[in-house]
Amino acid sequence: MRHVRAASAVTLALAIAAAATGCGGGSTGTGSNESPKTLTYWASNQGPSIEADKEILTPELKKFEKETGIKVKLEVVPWADLLNRILAATASGQGPDVLNIGNTWSASLQATGALLPWDEKNFEEIGGRDRFVDSAVASAGKEGEPPAAVPLYSLAYALYYNKKMFADAGIEKPPATWDELVAAGQKISKGGKWGLGAEGGNVSNNIHQTFVLGQQHGADFFDKDGRATFTSDGAVAAVKQYIDFMAKDKIIAPGNAEYAQNQSLTDFAKGKTAMVLWQAAASTFAAQGMKPEDWGAAPVPVPSGTPGTGKQVNSMAAGINIAVFKNTKNIDGAKKFVKFMTGDEQQKHLNKTYGSIPPVKAAQADAAFGAPDLKVLRDTLATSAAPLPQVPNESQFETAVGTAVKELWADAAAGRPVTEESVRARLEKAQQTMQQ
Amino acid sequence: MTATVTEPRADTSAAKGTSRGTGGARRRLPRIPDRVRRGGLPYLLLLPAVLLELLIHIIPMIIGIVMSFRQLTQFFINNWGAAPWTGLDNYRIAVDFDAPIGEALLHSFFVTCVFTFFSVGFAWLLGTTAAILLQESFRGRGILRAVFLVPYALPVYAAVITWAFMFQRDNGLINHVLHEQLGIIDEPSFWLIGDNSIYTLIIVSVWKGWPFAFLMLMAGLQNIPRELYEAASIDGAGIWQQIRRITLPSLRPVNQVLVLVLFLWTFNDFNTPYVLFGRSAPENADLISIHIYQSSFVTWNFGTGSAMSVLLLLFLLLVTAVYLILTSRGRKGADV
């Protein structure tokens, strides 16, 4: 009898587990309020380390608990794991209640239907859509549909430059056009020093840079129907212009072709490279021993010299969004938590700590975001940043085109010619691997 | 039969001083009807293993196969049972070698074959050489044996990321030694991108794989009677002849398993390329495991990724079957 009972227990366990495996995708309903006293929050790793993030966020979560009586279980997830973790949570239906997502993934994750859509009603519950900067909301989901998330920390690209290296080379002001940048870079690039840094092995960074150059050449990488247009003349010209900084203009060190761990920032801090195109680099420079007066920040160059909209775009609208898992057991609590995190005070405090810009207009006005470098980022975000293509296969685009650019860097570094044809051929191949 | 099974148990427990638990077991045991014990008990004992095997391997495999017939993309992962049925489309896409996806798969297949051939070959060669050399006892042999096993004992991630640092062009140890200290190469080379990346992959894989070969072969060598060597050397056989005529033939059964296991591990290796190159490997080192991972998890085409996995599984099954048939036939021949 005992054996039979044991065997049936095992069978039952198996049945439950099999059901969990087999029917994991079944949960598509909207959340309930079955467990109103707790929330699980996956925070993306924003600070210098996971421990640092826990230290920064825990007091805030305690504050939230005091205000609402809802306990938040925090888990900080490293960037490299975050997307896979979200995918697994989506497929199994066993996810956190609230989570951070990279804003370039918004449309892809929106397509899964796992995230709570932020329609007007939901936005009203957190104070209204108008509280947020337009470009930040635009990067939270597909155009014409309720966003899949709410902007939390916003970032934009700026041109960071080493003041002393500029002075030594007799350059008076940071370049405003690409021609000026190349000219400045060539003045500096000698004797082991280089003009510009790049992260050739970092697929996402390649996309960010070539997307912006694409905008300046009038290319979008996708047409209105969401079909890939990687081989348009503008796209080819944009990618070639970026690679040519190493291949033709010789202002990027060949070694940058394999950089993927922010080594270009280390080179910058060591005085080996005079310029980098980066999002909110201040805290990293400080961590590497640079004083704030050693470097300056300027808008990323545009052909006309004056950033703006359309062909004057000089940054992607970067940042982190906060989203709610649709099947949360505490939908009201989750929305309250989003309201708390996007509240004026939290926005000021957290963005100040992380060196990002608040996507909430009221918080942006704080004096802390008026420092010269942050002002550049703020203005860029407000006037001349565009969201990456908000298409469901954005992730595919990043990998396909980002890898094509990575291979082109390798060609340039090895001294192989990078021509319009070779660029087009790589992009053609990338485009053909796009399914759907 | 029954008596011979139960009696020694009773003896042992009596000899040790019957504990409560053992006594209980002894009392319970006869209650199981003979019919069950003879017929059902072995199966009952096997049941947990079978269930776990089902749960861990068989069911996921079946789910994977089902997925390969569906158009599973980001639109359906939230409810993947609803993904449209596409029949053999995913397989067609995977093996259409004129189209880019099939072409890239074929390319990564060839890269993997070359990688596996050299990795397994060198790992086996190094393992064999080291095992034979460390057969003779000498001072420090124990330490050497322990040191040789270090790569096998280290966590893969930590070891491979260290290699990745060493292979960096500007700050890595490899270029520092080859270029600055020895002057073998004129200028620092790229190891993690471009043409050299396949060599990097093979070097790290051999470093990681050979201690296992060494361990297995060392164990195999222990089983060869010393008398064979003594007799051979009396008959005038030199060291090479002894290795060729005694050592290698005696190691044949070990090698048969070893090469197969190394082949399967290496062909499927995911950790090494992923840690060395990240989610998008250089063209020259685009191993099939990374390629399938990319198709499934990076570009969110789980259906096509599953079809590629099933094809890979079929290929590995086929190779294993052919290998086993050939080697067992060879062994029968040798026995005769």
Q: Which residues of A touch B104 (CB under 8 A)?
A: 433
* DSSP code per residue over B135-171: TS--TTHHHHHHHHTHHHHS-HHHHHHHHHHHT-TTT
Question: H or E segment at A102?
Answer: strand A98-102
| pLDDT surpasses 60 at A28 | no
| pLDDT surpasses 90 at A174 | yes
Tens of pLDDT along B119-166?
999 999 999 999 999 988 888 888 998 999 999 889 999 999 999 999
What predicted TM-score, i.e. pTM, was given to this entire model? 0.84
Q: What is the largest CA-CA distance in chain A?
A: 91
Q: Which residues of B touch A429 (CB under 8 A)?
A: 100
| pLDDT surpasses 80 at B194 | yes
pLDDT computed for residue A48 by the predictor? 75
Query: Is B298–A399 a contact, with Cβ atoms under 8 angstroms apart?
Result: yes
The shortest C-alpha distance from A308 to chain B (Å) reads 32
Instruction: For chain B, give the mean pLDDT.
Output: 86
Q: For residue A277, which of A178, A364, A394 has the smallest C-alpha distance?
A: A178
Tens of pLDDT along A277-303?
999 888 889 888 999 999 999 999 999
Query: Is A433–B101 a contact, with Cβ atoms under 8 angstroms apart?
Result: yes
pLDDT computed for residue A40 by the predictor? 96
Bridge partners (DSSP) of residue A106 are none
Tens of pLDDT along A120-160?
999 999 999 999 998 899 999 998 899 999 999 999 999 99
Q: Worst-scoring range by mean pLDDT, A148-162, B249-263, B296-310?
A: B296-310
pLDDT band at A1 (very low <50, low <70, confident <90, very high): very low
Looking only at the bridges linking them, the beta strands covering A98-102 and A71-77 are: unpaired
| pLDDT surpasses 90 at A343 | yes
Tens of pLDDT along A100-127?
999 999 998 999 999 999 999 999 999 9
CB atoms inside a 10 Å sphere around CB A364: 22
Higher pLDDT, residue B336 or A413: A413
DSSP symbol at A256: G
Higher pLDDT, residue A396 or B203: B203
Q: Which residues of B touch A194 (CB under 8 A)?
A: none
Q: Torsion-angle region of residue A280: left (phi > 0), alpha (psi -120 to 50) or beta?
A: left
The alpha carbon of residue B86 and the mean position of all alpha carbons in its chain are separated, in whole angstroms, by 33
What distance in Å separates the CA atoms of residue B130 and residue B149, rounded to the nearest whole number? 11
pLDDT computed for residue B99 by the predictor? 87
Tens of pLDDT along A320-338?
999 999 999 999 999 999 9
Higher pLDDT, residue B160 or A81: B160
The secondary structure of A335-373, three-state, reads HHHHHHHCCHHHHHHHHHHHCCECCEHHHHCCHHHHCHH
| pLDDT surpasses 70 at A49 | yes
Q: Does B195 touch chain A (CB under 8 A)?
A: yes
Q: For residue B32, which of B23, B44, B15 has the smallest C-alpha distance?
A: B44
* φ and ψ at residue B254, rounded to 5 degrees: -65, -50
Q: Worst-scoring range by mean pLDDT, A37-41, A178-182, B71-75, B171-175?
A: B71-75
Give every CB contact of residue B325 below 8 A, 6+ residues apart in sequence: none
What three-state secondary structure class fits A141?
coil
Query: Is A113–B78 a contact, with Cβ atoms under 8 angstroms apart?
Result: yes
Query: Is B299–A429 a contact, with Cβ atoms under 8 angstroms apart?
Result: no
Query: Is A433–B47 a contact, with Cβ atoms under 8 angstroms apart?
Result: no
The upper half-sphere exposure of residue B117, i.e. CA atoms within 13 Å in the direction of its Cβ, equals: 6
Give the strand order in the sheet containing A71-77.
Answer: A71-77, A38-44, A98-102, A318-324, A150-155
What distance in Å separates the CA atoms of residue A183 and residue A198, rounded to the nearest whole number? 17
Residue type, position A393, single letter: N
Tokens of A65: 């608990």
* DSSP code per residue over B126-143: HHHHHHHHTTS--TTHHH
What distance in Å separates the CA atoms of residue A266 and residue A278, rounded to the nearest whole number? 13
pLDDT band at B37 (very low <50, low <70, confident <90, very high): low
pLDDT computed for residue A84 by the predictor? 85
What three-state secondary structure class fits A39?
strand
ipTM: 0.82
